[in-house]
Amino acid sequence: MKCYYDFHIHTALSPCGHVDMSPNNIVNMAKICDLNAIAITDHNSCENVKVVMELANEQDIIVVPAMEIETREEIHMVCFFSEITDVYNVQEIVYSALPNIKNRTNIFGDQLIFDENDSVVGENDRFLSTAANLSIDELFNICDKLGGVAVPAHIDRPSYSILSNLGLIPDQLPVTTVEVSKYVDDFDKYQEEYKSFNMIQSSDAHDLEALIFQHRFIEVEELSVQGIIHYLRSKRDIK
């Protein structure tokens, strides 16, 4: 069945996220966009995922527990999991691997934590938009052991992508799915070039307006978090 998705959305917990990127605003915009599933992928943190999941459940929208992790190689990876406890476990690993740098709100912006009413209940004072001391190989192993999946983010971008930083997708990495940014017009051309991988295209939204774009769908066996994870973890059937 078709699953219309946006698997790369930032809340205001990400220092580059607009203050309007609150849980209710994101869920309501996803409803307006007729999305079946979304993922909250804040930088190196998942502290707003649970509240978005709870609110989205009331709107019959699936939220995949996720986060965007920056590896030691300065590569952005969007990492998806079946259970909220798994993404919390990875968050602790990432927090311990981040440099001990405090966020400078006057330069990078606030890192806000919300409740179900969009009230700010806290701020993360560590600087989240930086590289963790985890290699890309280590991150793949961590995700795989938890039954999750690590997806190279926005491979078309000239920075913070696996292609810009490594020049290729190494054969030894168990990559099953890659992501291109919303700025890619010729999706089919990219899919043909990287035909051995599943390909997704998401908004990488840091503001509400960015959530409104031509959304894509994937074909899943089951419209659920588990069905989505199964798709992302599966090797593409090349015909």
Give me the pLDDT at residue 159, please: 96
Comparing CA positions, the residue from 210, 208, 47 lying closest to residue 113 is 47
For the CA atoms of 10, 15, 16, 20, the dihedral, rounded to the nearest 10 degrees, stands at 60
Cα distance between residue 116 and residue 114, in whole Å: 7
Are the C-beta atoms of residues 174 and 106 closer than 8 Å to each other?
A: no
Q: pLDDT by residue (tens digit) across 21-37?
A: 999 999 999 999 999 99
Average pLDDT of the residues of the chain = 95
Q: Is the pLDDT confidence value at 237 over 80?
A: no
Cα distance between residue 159 and residue 179, in whole Å: 14
Q: pLDDT by residue (tens digit) across 90-132?
A: 999 999 999 999 999 888 899 999 999 999 999 999 999 999 9
Q: pLDDT by residue (tens digit) across 190-220?
A: 999 999 999 999 999 999 999 876 679 999 9
Give me the pLDDT at residue 142, please: 97
The token pair that represents 166 in the structure block:
């490594």
pTM for the model stands at: 0.96
Per-residue confidence band for 238, with pLDDT thresholds at 50, 70 and 90: low
Q: Is 116 exposed, middle or buried (0-12, 13-18, 19+ CB in 10 A)?
A: middle
Give me the pLDDT at residue 51, please: 98
Per-residue confidence band for 80, with pLDDT thresholds at 50, 70 and 90: very high
Phi, psi of 70 (to 5 degrees): -100, 120
